[in-house]
Chain A
């Protein structure tokens, strides 16, 4: 279990390789990552993460897919280490641009 004064994040689906911050994090914080089934794991946060933003809970290699809601939300443009911020600076959409394809 986690204490209410601990900083929390949520992993929406078991397959996700990112968690969403439910608090503001500073480098060095330990995040209590709550899974959809209520289980909690701890992640060492290495960068400042604003509320609502994502951080890696697995190593994500350059070119690998970023998964949230159990679905692909984009592709990593560089290696992302566990605990680092995952956002527009290191993830790119595959849609709405030349070469992007429907997933149906």
Chain B
């Protein structure tokens, strides 16, 4: 159906990068400024600024460490600079070891040892030529469709999402899976009310049980707060766009996963080891699910939207598929694929699905997405359970 005409970046774990970035990773929010200044002086680098790494309960510190390690392991990352403060909760050694195990060049600088921001930045810049030359020497290999690990997300949904962009994305996912590619979708909150349809697609009992469990766990977590989910899910934007209940939102959302068998359920940020279609436990919050997907190893994301969600992701190209005819025009500069033609009766879901699949191949071949061209790709987010303390 379509060929990917590019050499990808072959990593030690046999995963294929579609991009080859230097990731600049603060171990803790306290050194975000340093990471940002360093990144501004290095082409092809991506600062992964976040708000965690200290003053949190142990499970959340472990979560943060695991996610940062997952991002280092992402196939689109060729090497990394690790910026540490020196007194944080996250263990920078684990990040360095992760990079070493992945065979990715890395360098860690500790602000409190270097003697402040200026010296820290100088130390990073001094080390850059060596790291860059190793990144540029990454092994290359022709990209096969089976090397694609697609993240699937919908955001700023409205009533059109459920019968235009989402089913069209689902149709593209079906084509990818038929070509032995892999895909991960999530947004556990948006499985609520639709899980009875998904369990029928699970490959085995273990997957079925896990899927039911993550939905129950999410619903219990919401109930424990004592606050009714109505009022925040569906979001005010969803309600304005015609979505009345979480069940309605979920039923529209799951169509983006297509129709194929679900092979397994991943915890938030867990590395995908298998092949085929998977579910990842994750919230609907855009930056947090995309961070989880990237940590899990997706090398490209398709993101459908009704009202016009603009965001991309620092180390993973994000293809935007728009659904609402009016919003598609207004938000044109953020839209890669127009699925509103389905609403207007001009195109079928299958036609737009094929267009999305062709775009996945084009972006894998190096075409830049709107979010990449605009630089609308700065925000990551780590999903944690506990309070700041």
Q: In the assembly, what is the distance between CA of A12 and CA of B252, in Å? A: 11
Q: Closest CB of chain B to A23's CB: distance in Å?
A: 11
Q: Tell whether, in the assembled complex, residue B242 and residue A92 are in contact, meaning their CB atoms are under 8 Å apart.
A: no
Q: Does B333 contact A (CB under 8 A)?
A: no
Q: Kindly specify which of A40-48, A56-64, A67-75 makes contact with the partner chain.
A: A67-75
A31 contacts partner chain B, Cβ-Cβ < 8 Å: no
Check: B301 CB closer than 8 A to any chain A CB. Answer: no
A90 to B327, CA, bound (A): 27
**B229 & A97 in contact (Cβ 8 Å cutoff):** yes
Question: Is A88 an interface residue, CB under 8 A from the partner?
Answer: yes
Check B242 against A50 for contact (C-beta < 8 Å). Answer: yes
Shortest CB–CB separation between residue A32 and chain B, in angstroms? 12
Whether, in the assembled complex, B114 has its beta carbon less than 8 Å from a beta carbon of chain A, the answer is no
User: Measured between alpha carbons, how far is A53 from B192 in the docked complex, in Å?
Assistant: 21
Given contacts A104-B196, A104-B212, contact A74 B222 (CB under 8 A): no
Are A69 and B212 in touch, CB under 8 angstroms? no
Q: Is the beta-carbon distance between A52 and B219 smaller than 8 angstroms?
A: no
Which chain A residues lie closer than 8 Å to B194 at the CB level?
71
Chain B residue numbers with a CB within 8 Å of A96 are 189, 192, 219, 222-223, 228-230, 233, 246
B219 touches A103 (CB 8 A): no
B246 to chain A, nearest CB (A): 5
B158 within 8 A of A: yes
Chain B residues 186 to 229 lying within 8 A of chain A, measured CB to CB, are 189, 192-197, 199, 212, 215-216, 219, 222-223, 228-229
- Picked from A20, A52, A73, A86, the residue with its CB within 8 Å of the CB of B247 is A73
Determine whether the beta carbon of B159 is less than 8 Å from that of A69.
no
Query: How far is A96 from B190 in the complex, measured between Cα atoms in Å?
Result: 11
Chain B interface (Cβ < 8 Å from any Cβ of A): 158-160, 162-163, 189, 192-197, 199, 212, 215-216, 219, 222-223, 228-230, 233, 239, 241-242, 244-248, 251-252, 306, 324, 326, 343
Residues from chain A with Cβ under 8 Å of B189 in the complex = 96
Min CB distance, B192 to chain A, in Å? Answer: 5
Q: Is the CB of B159 within 8 A of A93?
A: no
Query: Are A102 and B223 in contact, CB atoms less than 8 angstroms apart?
Result: no
A residues contacting B by CB (< 8 A) are 10, 12, 20-22, 50-54, 66, 68-69, 71-74, 86-88, 91-98, 100, 102-104
In the complex with contacts A73-B193, A104-B199, A95-B219 CB distance below 8 A:
yes
Known: A93-B246, A100-B219, A102-B219; 17 extra A-B contacts, CB below 8 A, are A52-B160, A68-B251, A71-B193, A71-B194, A74-B245, A86-B244, A87-B244, A92-B230, A94-B193, A94-B245, A96-B229, A96-B246, A97-B228, A97-B230, A102-B212, A104-B195, A104-B199
Please give the distance in Å from A89's CB to the nearest CB on chain B.
9
Top-6 shortest CB links A-B: A96-B229, A52-B159, A52-B242, A93-B245, A73-B248, A74-B245
Q: Please give me the residue from chain A that is nearest to B324 by CB atom.
A: A52
In the assembled complex, the CB of A71 is this many whole angstroms from the nearest CB of chain B, namely 5
